[in-house]
Structure 1
Amino acid sequence: MMTMQLELEPTPTQKNSLFNAMNRFIGAVNNMDQTVMVPSLLRDVPLEEDREMMGSLKSDDDEEGDMYSYYQLLKSIRRDIEWGVRCAAADERLKEGMKITRMNSSMSTSSSASFSSEEDEEEEDEDLKAQFQYHLTGLQGVLSKLTVQANSLTKRYKKEIGIGGWGQ
């Protein structure tokens, strides 16, 4: 039995969701990856007109920045989004965060007899919500910029190899 999935037009709120921002970025990097058939052609290609847009995106091992380093960095960010960040530093931050959470939890449990602890919990919940919204907004902004950069790199590659008129 075949089921039909309804595709509804996304609302303006859904268009601005983190999920859609991630999908747009991943789609742009996938398009870039499919377009760039010979990534090594991007080596030593100066940023020129793209310098202003891509100047904020630098890898640790490349001080000047060329199109190849941006290509590799965008693919790395896509991989981190799809598979998660797995490195020693991230594991260490996760352990520290869990330790702090446990300490806060035990502290709030021991002081739960007082009336002020309920107020503290409410303030903490509001603070967590504000922090989440702040970081979510920032992440969506970064993803939008990265999407523009991936699209720009794709166009620049096409220009470099002489197929600038395709799929603008």
Structure 2
Amino acid sequence: MMQISSDSASNKHSLINVMHRFIAAANNMDETIMVPSLLRDMPLEEQAATETNNNQPLSNKQRDMYEHYLLLKSIKNDMEWGLLKREMSSGASFLEMAVKQEEQTPVTGDLPCAGNSDLEDQFHFHLRGLFGVLSKLTVQADHLTNRYKREIGGGNFMR
């Protein structure tokens, strides 16, 4: 069994630390938002509210805060429980769909399948992407929590 040294776990640039920061931000979001349904129809970006007032159409990709809250919780659950829990409940997560798509993609002559340097390059490419995505998700979870506190007036009665 592989053990994680305390040095790598305490390194602020380690993957484990980035994952812990996102999960902590998502847990804080979940603990702060006591009534998630209040987030319905609340625009995700504050500037979207002013655009709506000016009768300018919003993008189709614009989500409300409730959908974004559910997305962040779903990603956190996928990270904590993996794909097995989703498969048992027969729901398809984004991660599961990506894995299935990767398995179904035929191997072409463009990518060498057994090259160690290719695997290392792929690993570093995906690791950089994972760091970037987790950092953005952490910022979004913190933003959603703070925005909820502002909108609901949670300065005095919330911790």
State yes or no: 1:19 paired with 2:16: yes
CA RMSD of the aligned region, Å? 3.2
Change in CA separation of 1:146 and 1:159 when aligned onto 2, cut-off 3 Å: same
Change in CA separation of 1:158 and 1:50 when aligned onto 2, cut-off 3 Å: farther
CA displacement at 1:158 relative to structure 2: 0.4
CA distance in 1, matches of 2:23, 2:41: 25
2:27 to 24, 30, 44: 30
Read off the aligned partner of 1:26 and give its amino acid letter: I
CA displacement at 1:46 relative to structure 2: 1.6
Contact 2:9 2:17 survives alignment (8 Å): no
What corresponds to 1:4 in structure 2?
none
2:100 to 92, 99, 119: 92
CA distance in 2, matches of 1:21, 1:28: 11
Contact 1:155 1:164 survives alignment (8 Å): no
**When the two structures are aligned, how many residues end up with a matched partner?**
130
What corresponds to 1:69 in structure 2?
67
CA displacement at 1:161 relative to structure 2: 1.1
State yes or no: 1:140 paired with 2:138: no
Could you list the runs of 5+ residues in structure 2 that have no partner in the other structure? 1-5, 49-59, 87-91, 108-112
State yes or no: 1:160 paired with 2:158: no
Kindly name which structure, 1 or 2, has the bigger radius of gyration based on alpha carbons: 1
What corresponds to 1:112 in structure 2?
none
Change in CA separation of 1:125 and 1:27 when aligned onto 2, cut-off 3 Å: same
Change in CA separation of 1:11 and 1:93 when aligned onto 2, cut-off 3 Å: closer
* 1:36-85 Cα deviation digits (max 9, x unpaired): 0000000011234376xxxxxxxxxx743111111000000001111113
CA distance in 2, matches of 1:40, 1:127: 47
State yes or no: 1:39 paired with 2:22: no
Could you list the runs of 5+ residues in structure 1 that have no partner in the other structure? 1-7, 52-61, 101-119
1:127 to 118, 124, 147: 118
CA distance in 1, matches of 2:77, 2:98: 15
> Percent sequence identity over matched residues?
54
- TM-score relative to the length of structure 1: 0.64
CA distance in 1, matches of 2:24, 2:67: 19
Q: Secondary structure at the match of 1:84?
A: helix
CA distance in 2, matches of 1:94, 1:84: 17
